Structure 1
Amino acid sequence: MECRLCLSQAPAESFVFIHDNPHPLVQRIWTCCRLQVMKDDGLPDSICLSCENNLALLSTFRNICLQSDETAKLRLSEHLDIKTKEIFLDDLIWKDDETVAQPNMCNSPVNNEINEWEQSDSKQTIHLIEKPTPLKISYSKPGRKNESKLKARQKIRIPFKCEVCLKTFAQKCVFKRHLVIHTGNKPFQCDICLKSFTRKGSLGTHINYHTGIKPYKCDVCLKAFPEKRTLVKHLRTHTGEKPYKCKICFKSFAQSSGLGAHMKSHTGLKSHKCDICLKLFPQKSNLATHMISHTGLKSHECTICFKSFTLKHHLAAHMKSHTGIKPYKCELCLKSFTEKRTLQIHLRSHTGEKPYKCDICLKSFSQKSSLGIHMKSHIGLKLYKCDICLKSYVVKYNLIAHIKSHFVK
């Protein structure tokens, strides 16, 4: 995308749409830059975050200057305590060999007559001069109208603060819209699924899911989305941007939900329990993924070797083995791997690190899968059974070794 003001180009998430923004960007651009921005004029309809910050600073500086000007005029009028001051020509007297102090009035008729007298050859004292129309220099105090304008400007500068969540807002309309969230009032209801919303725009976006309308399209992969924020999140898969960072381990995430799920790993709280193997998980989605392993369902199949996998990302990792590309290399033994996590697991064989510990017997393991297999020995769960002698085993490869013993005999 391209910025309307500085013409800089960057990904879409680095821009703010001029006409969709709740802040009066069109008015601010006109006030600060005297640039009229029209909707659907064929020019870029968004500005970059840098220009938005500069506009905010310039608008704030302009408001400070206007307020300071009003305050300075008010102080001056209070100091002089004068509304009007009249200057007459007969108050000015010139005498021979005296320096005349002229008033500071550039284009007044008095000055014209003084200049004509100074340019004459004979400098005589003026006795009879017609009295001109009084000239008035007004120092008007700001009346009620000016004071109301000043108070109005001050009110605009004061942010609106929510007493519930202490969040501040620059505009009253946005503040009122925010208060609806705390009241729980949802006046806009969907006629199809009867779901309610606090805003009319949110209901309109929700209707797109029922109608199948997807007006927001990705320029890279041409994938369409029913709402704008979903498109913004999708664009991060192309740009690789991860704006959400963990403050503990500094790991970054593309979405806020991913960061929220990650933070539970630091707390150690695992409230979701598997009813079969009693394994605990921090999230319900993790438990649902784990339950597929117990069903034995492998719906993801490799198109080259027809090997099946339980999860989609396991198939994606397997497909790399067919390409033969191994970009991750161990610096100690120079062994290469297709995935980064496989290299990290391999490095533990050099360092001797065993981060996975059994809570029952305190035995440690270098891999998470090894700990999972070990935990089955405590609960006595033997899922793998020999069809020949009906002997059961905890681990699948133990069953394979046992079956081979039958054929050797």
Structure 2
Amino acid sequence: MKIDPYQIRNDFPILSTKTPNGKNLVYLDNGASSQKPKSVIEATNRYYTEENANIHRGVYHLSQHATEMFEKTRIKTSHFFQAQCAKAIIFTRGTTESINLVAQTWGRVNISEGDEIVLSVQEHHSNLVPWQMLAQEKRAILKFIPIQEDSKYDLSGLKDIITKRTKLVAVSHMSNVTGTIHDVAPIIERARQVGAKVLLDGAQAASHLKVNLVSLDADFYAFSAHKMLGPTGVGVLFGKEEILEAMPPWMGGGDMIESVDLERSTYANLPAKLEAGTPNIAGVIGFSYALDYLSQLGMENIHAHEMEITEYALSRLNRMGGLTIYGTEDMEKRGGVISFTLDGVHPHDVGSILDEEGIAIRVGHHCCQPLMKRWSIPGTCRASFYLYNTKEDVDALVYGIEKVKSIFSRVARK
């Protein structure tokens, strides 16, 4: 099914608004966070106005109803990603917290001095800093999968990087900088050969690709609701059930216990053991409606639309002089993200001038400073597309870049 972005845009109130200077909003920062459809906004508002109560604890109707909606979202998430089972879905505050949870629970128990943790040189800081902290604490060794010039993982030396001393491999499924969809199957296969676990940062992939967690066979998979039409403050950690069962709790408090005495406690079963305290109930319920919206359109159809827009954008941008585009030219291995630099212009200046035209892109290092250092640049300009973006959005971006070039060429002539 070919989706109609013009019809879809009617479901997103913010896309019909204007910027403070009266320009139509052209939103191209979906890699950072997606916009929300009316169904998600209304569900969140309805919870606070008609259904608000804490979950898992009350015997009264409101509490039981809120609990039912919250737990139905867990089941829906499990089905959407074809996970092992619903209790393998742990709700967190975001991808960052999901990765930190693994580092501080599984990592502290299973990583010892001299053990290896394998990452890549283009990881988001959320999938780099937690492992640096753990390695420093445990005196473990960090190793890195290099990248090729086209930003794909360089797997040629994989056997020397992932060794019998490797306990964990943690890499991104899809790059937040270039949109490169990484071939993680050989990495997972090599990890299996040496008995290492694999964590995939799915923050980008989960919102753009059809992900089957069973066939993917990663031990952990982390992603966020706000990048896939859902509210902020909701993340998901998938873990294989037997691994989650063996992990100790990370945070102690209410709702994660079975029995508490003054000197010791016993812990609840999954998933409660890893979900201490009151969660973002409204956000999780809103996420349920986001999953419904995505399911109705179909992730394959969403990806096909994004690639149509991306190919159109690349065809127009490649005809512009003075522009460097980063990432693979293999369209089967990239998502709806384009990172570029403009000769002689700092990315922040590009972003500021585009903002005057109502165009929202992301500029800077994108929480990937090691990658920027690898490329010897301060940062890039990133346009990232989603299901509601149109070719007219791309035309506006190109017009805006031409304006940037015009302004800086006049400055250079003075």
TM-score bin (small chain):
under 0.3
TM-score relative to the length of structure 2: 0.19
TM-score relative to the length of structure 1: 0.19
Q: Which has the higher contact order (CA 8 A, sep 6+)?
A: 2
Greater Rg by CA = 1
